[in-house]
Amino acid sequence: MASQLRHFAEQQFDQVFDTLPTICILDHDGVIVEFNNSWDVFGQQNNLNQNTLGINYLTLCDTATGKDSDGAPQAAHGIRAVMAGDLPEFTMMYPCHAPHEKRWFQMRVRQLGVDGYILIIHENVTPLKIAEQQSYELALEREKVNLLRHFVQNISHDFRTPLTIINLKIDLLNRRLRGSDDPELSVIREQVHRLEHTLNALLTMFNVENPNTRLMVMPFHVDTLLEKVYAAHRPHAQEKGVRLLYHTPPERFVVDADQDMLDVAIARLLENAIFYTPTGGTVSLHVQRMPERLSIIVNDNGVGIPNDQIPYIFEHFYRVDESRRSATGGTGLGLAVAKKIMELHGGHIHVRSRINQGSTFTLSLPMR
């Protein structure tokens, strides 16, 4: 009966031993005297094509070659330190190249407390290493964004003061010229306006893409906002000779959104529509109720967008026609900002366009 119980206990131990991470046991000389099934698999994956039972583990480390051998001297040093009693435990992480992937293992070495035997555990920590790497890369990316944001904010502040002074000087010069609009001064004023527009666009972009940005969501009548945006852009449209229309909705719609953010998104679409609509063209703004959603639509009969470029127009700084940059003064950020704002609201932006016939941009917002 006692022998049966002993045999059963040994079977149970073997089963548990084989389910543990990769394990081998060394004697006081460093010779491998025991290992579990995982060690066999580990050896095959790491080109240990020999029966390692009875092999000196320290010799394997001392004679290791190949691209995964860089950590072998450190491993041998740690094992010897534990064997000598200089360290209670030794731990190291090392890479291991499988046939089709790079994996990471953690090796732990400690004394078993029995006749100088040493326990070595190799544990696959690749998922942990990947997570750490991704976390590090994310933190690094956030740091880059923060540095760039602070840089832009500082540069913006440094630029605004001289730009304001230049505008004041232009006004003073115009007064001295008794109100006549000097062509050279008009060019200077236009370039100052472009710089101000670029600075504002950059600040807006960094604001909406800041992970710490929190929307100030409140219910409001969307027609009130549309009337405000329409009134703000009407003078520019008239100056260019573009007819800007606002179709008053038949009923008042309430949306839960950040009103200032939504203002920016609509304004960017109107700016683009006016920029790319030639003199005599028409830009319209209206709202339409859909099942569980509200659509804000900006339509124009301007130059249109080639189909092969539509997938890229929401990327930062992308321009359909770079030759128009100097003419329009655009930054290539407007559509990217509008898209991000809609995503923050759980909505989306859609575009339909045909060359020389115009474009239709639709902002879709969820409704209560």
The string of pLDDT tens digits covering residues 267-286 is 999 999 998 999 999 999 99
pLDDT of residue 325: 47
119: three-class secondary structure by DSSP: strand
pLDDT of residue 1: 45
Which segments of the chain are extended strands (E)? 22-26, 32-35, 89-97, 102-111, 118-124, 217-221, 243-247, 254-258, 282-290, 293-300, 348-354, 358-366
pLDDT of residue 234: 94
Which residues of the chain fall below pLDDT 70?
Answer: 1-20, 40-50, 67-68, 97-101, 178-181, 320-331, 368
Instruction: For 27-60, give one letter per residue: b (16+ CB within 10 A) or e.
Output: beebbbeebbebbeebbeebeeeeebeeebbbeb
Q: Tell me how far apart the alpha carbons of residues 360 and 57 are, in angstroms, rounded to a whole number.
A: 71
The string of pLDDT tens digits covering residues 172-201 is 887 777 656 677 777 777 787 777 777 777
- The number of beta carbons lying within 10 Å of the beta carbon of residue 3 is 7
Residue of 48, 41, 40, 36 whose CA lies nearest to 72: 48
Q: Tell me how far apart the alpha carbons of residues 261 and 338 are, in angstroms, rounded to a whole number.
A: 9
The H helix count followed by the E strand count for the chain is 10, 12
Please name the residues in contact with 244: beta carbons below 8 A apart, sequence gap of 6 or more.
230, 233, 234, 237, 238, 270, 274, 282, 283, 284, 285
**DSSP secondary structure letter of residue 70:** T
Structural domains present in the chain: 2-124 (3.30.450.20), 126-213 (1.10.287.130), 216-368 (3.30.565.10)
CA atoms within 13 A on the CB side of 346: 12
Cα four-point dihedral sign 57, 59, 61, 65: negative
Residue of 231, 219, 209, 210 whose CA lies nearest to 365: 219
